[in-house]
Structure 1
Amino acid sequence: MFYIQDGRFSQSLTTHEAILTAATSAHNDVDYGAGVFAFATAGGASLVFEDQVLNNFLANNTFTLIVGIDDITNTITLEKLKELSDLNPNLDVKVFCHSDSGSLFHPKFIWFKIDGEIRLITGSGNLTEKGLRRNREAFTNNYLTHNELRNFEDYWNFWLSENADNLRDLDDEEVVRKAAKNAIKFLRTRKLETELRVDVSEAMGETERETADTENPVAPPEDNQSDVPELIETEDYEAWTIEDNPEVLVAEIPNSSDRWKQANFNQATFESFFGGIAGVNEERRILLRHVGTTGILEELEVRPTISVRSKNYRVELKAAGGLNYPDGDSRPISIFIKIATRSFIYSLVMPEDVIYNEILIYLNNYQPRVGNRMRRYLTDVEELRENCPNLNFWLI
């Protein structure tokens, strides 16, 4: 089957979700698996190998992961892969480290031998958050059985044996050196980008600068801006930035006693905005990241799109954990910005928060309250920014 990963495409399936579905056994007849990716980030590795599906797989079965070191993959990635392999003895991680100056290690595929067949996913996406979820990518999902299965295994083992010298351990001296070089290269790139923005700004006249700032605002560079990549990998951070004019949902959160953090939505919102499919319980995942008051992206929240018999569908919000539901008529308001297919940044605003009245006025103007109904207002980033200029999203 052929799939397109495209956040603007209503039928999009992400590479991440396809991998989780392929790794799920219906009959517990599992043997082993492997994956080969040109580049990897810590966030991409976490998405796949910290998911419960892969944890179940690795509990009793082996998996070989091979990542390239020609670009992107850096010391933070190696640290995460070491952590994952230490936690999962059945996960064997190797780095493809070669000395061919005219050749780039560039494959992207993953496979599982499950229920008597090889499930092979081959595509354009790397083991990064952008490659697995946000980028426009394409991939195929093929099931191989009988003679195809045996031929595939023989071919795979033959490739491994002929490349044994290139398959290095995570702590190999050359691997560590190249990973550090990739990190430095990124730091230098970010510094040059910052310097370029400064040079362009200084070269422009006041009128041109004011026009450009209005049409395409750019945050002024700070002295410590070049330090940011040391804390956040480029691929992972860019997977969560606001680009263009994405969809927005402004939603009042209903009271469900001490379980109100499991925000309820009707089927229409669950399907059209969050990207779930009622009645379909494949390994789809809603990804959420709460944006703190200073614009810091908080811990990734991974939520399965479980279909239930009732007409309500739940999206659990970690930011609501430990908070009491407000007394009286005030309701928490959550704002979701769709970054990619089933991927969202969000802000949970409580009545005592400084920004609450600004959002409430905006919601009242565009969707007045009717009785006790929970309001669900769909809009876009441009309108949201115009009406709520003090939201923490704009500090990212």
Structure 2
Amino acid sequence: MRFQIQDPTYGNTRPLRETILNICPDMKMGAGAYAFATSEGVNFLLDGENFRDFISNGEFFLIVGTDDITNVRALKTLKGFEEEFSGNLKVRVYIHDAIGSIFHPKYSWFQSKELGGKLIIGSGNMTKRGMKNNREAYAVIDLDAGQLEEVKREWNRWVMHSRQYLYPLDDAIRIMSQRDRSFIGRFVHALKKAMGIG
């Protein structure tokens, strides 16, 4: 296990994006869940050369939340990558109506071309700030074959449990667009933009 700190002012900083992209060449599949995503953050990670090489022959299942920051623009950017990567990238959007609770995970797991894999779990979201500019922390955990299977089983159980909340991108874009047209939706969007997080 490696504990990493991402801090642009710290000499030993380890940006999350760099770590994810560095392990991609040795992996054949993976998945991840992130609470928030921005168009800039999606491009920052998925347009990386190592991720492109990985996804050309591998598979990745990505789930993003919509409780804050994630907007229609981010979802449309994801849609573009999903179409470009021709079935190798599967994206679902977590939309729920729970009160007093939000969708807030930030992790990815990968299966190696050989044995075992990696689990990267921490505080950074799929935003450029979360993967490079913010002060964040995360751990890279080496998984043996048994541990990887345990992670995959738990992931699959949770995905099955959550299927009523997991929307294809086209449906999510429609739902989010309707939200944005409401007065409150427009107000929140304007506030996010003013804060530089929209």
**TM-fit CA distance, 1:186:** 2.9
Query: How big is the shift at 1:8?
Result: 1.2
1:128–1:235: 8 Å Cα contact kept in structure 2? no
Q: Are the equivalent residues in 1 in contact too, given 2:28–2:54 (CA < 8 A)? A: no
Aligned to 1:78: 75
Question: Which residue in the other structure is 2:103 paired with?
Answer: 105
Q: Greater Rg, structure 1 or structure 2?
A: 1
Name the structure 1 match of 2:124.
125
Q: Deviations over 1:118-151 (max 9, x none)?
A: 2111010110011111110000000111221211
Q: 1:134 to 1:182 in 2, by over 3 A?
A: farther
Give 1:174's aligned residue: 175
Q: Contact 2:7–2:133 (CA<8 Å) still a contact in 1?
A: yes
Determine whether 1:92 maps to 2:95.
no
Name 1:10's counterpart in structure 2: 11
- Letter of the structure 1 residue corresponding to residue 78 of structure 2: L
After TM superposition, list the pairs within 5 Å mapping 1:1-396 onto structure 2. 1-25=2-26, 30-89=27-86, 90-114=88-112, 115-172=114-171, 173-178=174-179, 184-187=187-190, 189=191, 229=193, 234-235=196-197
Q: Runs of 4 or more off by more than 4 Å in structure 1?
A: 178-184
- Which structure's relative contact order is higher, taking Cα pairs within 8 Å and 6+ residues apart? 2
Matched-pair contact (CA < 8 Å) for 2:24–2:54: yes
Whole-Å separation in 2 of the counterparts to 1:152 and 1:162: 15
Describe the SS at the equivalent of 2:197. Answer: helix
1:394 matched residue in structure 2:
none
Separation in structure 2 between the aligned mates of residue 182 and residue 62 of structure 1, nearest angstrom: 34
1:45–1:80 Cα contact (<8 Å) kept = yes
- Which amino acid in the other structure matches residue 149 of structure 1? L
- CA positional deviation for 1:179: 6.0
Unpaired runs of 5+ residues, structure 1, are: 191-228, 237-396
Q: Matched residues in 2 for 1:67 and 1:179: separation?
A: 18
CA–CA separation in structure 2 for the residues paired with 1:140 and 1:186:
32
Separation in 1 of the partners of 2:73 and 2:195? 8
Separation in 2, partners of 1:4, 1:76: 29
- The 8 Å contact of residues 125 and 131 in structure 1, kept in 2 or not, is answered as yes
For the residues of structure 1 that align with 2:48 and 2:28, how far apart are their CA atoms? 19
Structure 2 CA distance for aligned equivalents of residues 177 and 234 of structure 1: 22
Q: Secondary structure at the match of 2:25?
A: coil
Aligned length: 191
Higher helix share: 2
Q: Could you tell me the TM-score, scaled by structure 1's length?
A: 0.46
CA separation of 1:182 and 1:130: change in aligned 2, threshold 3 A: farther
- CA distance change for structure 1 residues 179 and 4 in 2, over 3 Å: closer, same or farther? farther
How far the C-alpha of 1:113 sits from its partner, in A, is 0.6
User: Greater shift after overlay, 177-186 or 64-73?
Assistant: 177-186
The separation in 1 between residues aligned to 2:147 and 2:180, in whole angstroms, is 37
Shift of 1:86: 1.1
Is the 2:72–2:176 contact (alpha carbons within 8 Å) kept by the matching residues of 1?
no
Mark the runs of 5 or more structure 2 residues left unpaired by the alignment: none
Deviations 1:26-54 (CA, angstroms, capped at 9, x unpaired): xxxx4311111000000100011011111
CA distance in structure 2 between the aligned counterparts of 1:179 and 1:135, rounded to whole angstroms: 27
Contact map agreement 1:23 1:53 (CA 8 A) in 2: yes
- In 2, Cα distance between the equivalents of 1:185 and 1:161? 31
Q: Is the 8 A contact 1:130 1:235 kept in 2?
A: no
Q: Distance in 2 between matches of 1:179 and 1:94?
A: 19
Asked if 2 retains the 8 angstrom alpha-carbon contact of 1:36 and 1:107, the reply is: yes
Q: Any conservation in 2 of the 1:32–1:63 contact (CA below 8 Å)?
A: yes
Amino acid at match of 1:121: I
**Tell me, what secondary structure is at the counterpart of 2:9?**
coil
Amino acid at match of 2:189: F
Q: Give the share of equivalent positions with the same residue, in percent.
A: 34
Q: Tell me if the contact between 2:8 and 2:133 (Cα under 8 Å) persists in the aligned partners.
A: yes
